[in-house]
Structure 1
Amino acid sequence: MPKLWNETIEAHRRAVRDAILNTTAELAAEHGVRSVTMSQIAEQAGIGRATLYKYFPDVEAILLAWHDRQITDHLGQLAEVRDQTDEAGERLEAVLRAFAHISRRSRGHHGTELAAFLHRDERVARAQQQLHGMIRDLLAEGARTGDFRGDVAPDELATYCLHALTGAAALPSDAAAERLVTVIMSGLRDAEPAPTGRRPTSRHESHGHHSSGDSEH
C-alpha cells in the first residue's frame, strides 16, 4: 500500500477520533455525563454506531481520551510559551498567564458533573506534577540569577503559585486573571530595598528637625 494512501487513512482516522471526542465532551457538558449515550454520539458525530465502537467501548472511555488530549495540548502550550524567551522572570510570568487563561477557559467548557468526573482522572495528578516541576525549575533558575527571592525554596514557591492560580478559574474576566498573575509575580520577588543613604525618619527626628529649623529663624 503506497505511503500516501496510508497517511490519508491515518488522517481520516484522526479526524473521526477528534470528531468523537469533541462531540462527546460537548454533549456531556450540556446534558450531563450520565445522560449521554453512544447512539447520541454516533448521530451527532455523523458516523455509524459500529464505527464508533471500533474506536471506543463506552462513553467514559471517550471522555477520558478527550481529557488526555486536553491535558497534552495544555502542557504543550505552556512549554511553547515558556520557550519563547530566555529570561527566567519573563518565562515564568508567561507560563503563569497562559495557565490562568487555560483555567478560565476550561471552567467555561466543563459542566459541574463533567468537571467532577474528570477530576478523578489520574492524568490530572500527573499533569499537575509536570506543571509543578516546570514552575519550580523556572523559579530555581530565577533565584540563581536574582530575579526571584532566594529565602523560600523553589518547590514551596511553585506550590504557592499553583494554589494561588486555582482562583483564576472563578475570575470574571481575562483582565482579572492578569491582575492575579501580577500579584503572584510581585510576591515571588524580593522586597525592594530602601534607597541607599535614605531611611524613614521617626516622629522624634522629624520634630527635632523642625525645632532646629525654628531656631535658625
Structure 2
Amino acid sequence: MPRITGGSLDEHREQIRQSVFEALTALLEERSFDAITMAQLAAKAGMGRTAIYHHFPDKEAVVVAFASHETEQYLSRLEEVLATADSPVERIRIYVDYHLAAGEQFHMGLGMQFYGLLSQESRLAIREHVLEVERVLRELLDAGIDSGDFIVDDVAATMSLIHACLSPRHLAPATIEAFVLRALGVH
C-alpha cells in the first residue's frame, strides 16, 4: 500500500501533482518535450515508474494539467491585484505590468514547440485556459470603452495586439505599458 503524504488524500494528490509539475519544468530545462518520458518524469518527481500512471495517463495529460494549474494560479493572483484598482486605466496598467512580471514566474507560455507535438484534444484543452485570460482583458477593455477612457474600434484585434506587445522580454515594462496605453487612446 503506498504511503499517503499530507493531511488527506486530496492533499496527497495535490502534492504528487505539484511534484510532477516541478519535474516537468526541470526536465524541460534539460531537454525537449518529445525527449521526456513518463519514467523520467516519475523519477524526477521522486515516485515509482508506474505510480505516475495513477495520476496521469501520459505526458500530454501532464502538460494539460500543468497548463491548467498555471493558468488558475495566474488568474487568481491577477484578479486579486485588479481588485485593488477602480479605474479602467489603472486596471489595464495592472494587467500589463502583472502579465510582464508574471511571465517570469509562471510557465504558461510553454512555447509553440508543444503545439506541434500535442494532440488536437490537448491543444483545445489548453486553449480553453487561454480564453480565460482573454476574457479578463476583454472585460477590462469593455469597461474602458464604456467609461470613455479607451478608444477601440475592434476589440478582438486590440486584444491580439496587446498580447503581442506583452511578449517581448527585451523591452522595459514601462515602455510597453506606455505603448499599450497610447494605443488605447489614453493621454
Classify the TM-score, shorter chain. 0.7 to 0.9
The 8 Å contact of residues 74 and 106 in structure 2, kept in 1 or not, is answered as no
Equivalent residue in structure 1 for 2:148, among 146, 149, 159 = 146
Shift of 1:72: 1.8
Q: Spell out, residue by residue over 1:51-95, the C-alpha distance to the aligned partner (whole angstroms, 9 max, x if none).
A: 212111222211221111112222222222221222221112111
Report the count of equivalent residues.
Answer: 181
Confirm or deny that 1:132 pairs with 2:134. yes
| Residue in 1 that maps onto 2:53 | 53
- Write the letter of the residue equivalent to 2:49: R
The 8 Å contact of residues 97 and 181 in structure 1, kept in 2 or not, is answered as yes
> Which of the pair is proportionally richer in helix?
1
Equivalent residue in structure 1 for 2:183, among 187, 204, 214 = 187
CA distance in 1, matches of 2:183, 2:39: 52
CA distance in 2, matches of 1:123, 1:98: 24
The 8 Å contact of residues 64 and 126 in structure 2, kept in 1 or not, is answered as no
Distance 1:159 1:38, change over 3 A: same
Structure 1 length-normalised TM? 0.69
The 8 Å contact of residues 138 and 155 in structure 2, kept in 1 or not, is answered as yes
CA distance in 2, matches of 1:127, 1:108: 10
Shift of 1:119: 10
Shift of 1:146: 3.0
How many percent of aligned residue pairs carry the same amino acid?
22
Judge which range, 6-15 or 117-126, deviates more.
117-126
Judge which range, 136-145 or 32-41, deviates more.
136-145
The 8 Å contact of residues 82 and 94 in structure 2, kept in 1 or not, is answered as yes
| Residue in 1 that maps onto 2:157 | 159
Confirm or deny that 1:43 pairs with 2:39. no
CA distance in 2, matches of 1:118, 1:170: 25
Gaps of 5+ in 1: 193-217
Gaps of 5+ in 2: none
Distance 1:113 1:142, change over 3 A: closer
Bigger Rg, structure 1 or 2: 1
Shift of 1:139: 2.4
CA distance in 2, matches of 1:81, 1:140: 19
| Equivalent position SS for 2:50 | helix
| Equivalent position SS for 1:170 | coil
| Residue in 2 that maps onto 1:18 | 18
- CA RMSD for the aligned pairs? 3.1
- Write the letter of the residue equivalent to 2:86: D
Structure 2 length-normalised TM? 0.78
Judge which range, 72-81 or 107-116, deviates more.
107-116
Q: Spell out, residue by residue over 1:130-168, the C-alpha distance to the aligned partner (whole angstroms, 9 max, x if none).
A: 33332222223223333223xx34xx2453243233243
| Residue in 2 that maps onto 1:67 | 67
CA distance in 2, matches of 1:161, 1:32: 31
Q: Spell out, residue by residue over 1:152-208, the C-alpha distance to the aligned partner (whole angstroms, 9 max, x if none).
A: 34xx245324323324323225xx233112111122126x6xxxxxxxxxxxxxxxx
CA distance in 2, matches of 1:18, 1:94: 28
Shift of 1:46: 1.1
The 8 Å contact of residues 29 and 114 in structure 1, kept in 2 or not, is answered as no
CA distance in 2, matches of 1:107, 1:67: 8
